[in-house]
Chain A
Amino acid sequence: MEVGQMQRRLLDYTKTLLMEGFLDGQFLQLQQLQDESNPGFVVEVVSLFFDDSEKLLNDLTSALDQPSVDFSRVDSHVHQLKGSSSSIDAQRIKNASLAFRNFCEEQNVEACQRCLQQIKQEYYLARNNLETLFRLEQQIVAAGGSIPMLEMGF
């Protein structure tokens, strides 16, 4: 596949993720922070997010499994997840985290556990989507091309 085709495929894939609500403008802002002096910035931030989130999700699973749930601890973890997902633009994880916090306030263990399952699904979806995106970018760079940027308001 020639570079131009790969670039178009990447742009189309990014647009799809935007239209399906996996990403919005904040991701494009992150891409603008990447340049020659910091070419791997987006991958670094997103990788950090996934590693940190995986740990948070494990901690949440453990916290909700306790006979007496410490909701302040649960809320603290969900707050971190909401903050991180908002900053890297994992919209669906952020929205699910918002719902989770509401159930935390109500101290509804079952609802929290259902929310956690939903967040885990969104997490794995987001991870797959972004790994696909980064793979497409790597293919373009390996073929000697540059990564095209999607314009806001496409």
Chain B
Amino acid sequence: MNKLRALVVDDNIINQMIHHRLLDNLGIENQVVGNGKEAVDVHSSGTYFDVILMDMDMPIMNGIEATKKLREMGIRSFIAGVTTRALEQEKGEFMEAGLDDYQEKPLTTAKLLSILHKINHSGIHNFS
């Protein structure tokens, strides 16, 4: 059974710590980066992740730009937007960039399990 690997993309150090812990608790190997450009760069080095938790508002490269860039690069990982933005228009713009799912912050174990359940059902990986 392959272990899932996740990438946390968030510029906020508190969110980084909490999301890292949430993933650790579920036995998911994970890496944390601080903005969209770092998320793109880590993929350029050939690293693959099963799931990417992508914040929207970040300096240097935001979540929308990073998601578009990753999809242009052919990255087919499950990308879940995780943001405090709640307006339908903002959510729509983020989804159109190439997200597979969208969750409002703060992220909880239940929301994370919901994301993983969707990955499981998409047949990418089995999660246990």
Contacts and interface: CB of A to CB of B under 8 A. Distances in A.
Interface of A: 26, 29-30, 32-33, 35, 38, 41, 44-45, 48-49, 52, 76, 79-80, 82-84, 86-89
Nearest to A81: B12
Contacts of A44: 17
Given A86-B105, A86-B106, A87-B14, 13 more contacts: A26-B108, A30-B18, A33-B109, A35-B25, A45-B17, A79-B57, A82-B84, A83-B14, A83-B105, A84-B12, A84-B15, A88-B14, A89-B106
Interface centre among B12, B14, B22, B59 (most CB of A within 10 A): B14
A153 to B, nearest CB: 14
Interface string B68-83: 0000000000000000
A87 B13 contact: no
Nearest to B18: A87
Nearest to A26: B106
A48 B17 contact: yes
Given A29-B109, A32-B109, A83 B21 contact: no
Contact of B18 (A45, A52, A79, A80): A45
User: Which label, helix, strand, loop or mixed, suits the secondary structure of the A interface?
Assistant: helix
A62 B118 CA distance: 46
A76 B105 CA distance: 18
A89 B105 CA distance: 11
Interface in B1-33: 11-15, 17-18, 21-22, 25
Contacts of B15: 83-84, 87
- 4 residue pairs, one from A and one from B, having the closest CB atoms: A84-B14, A83-B12, A87-B106, A29-B108
A5 B57 CA distance: 45
Nearest to A38: B21
B25 to A, nearest CB: 6
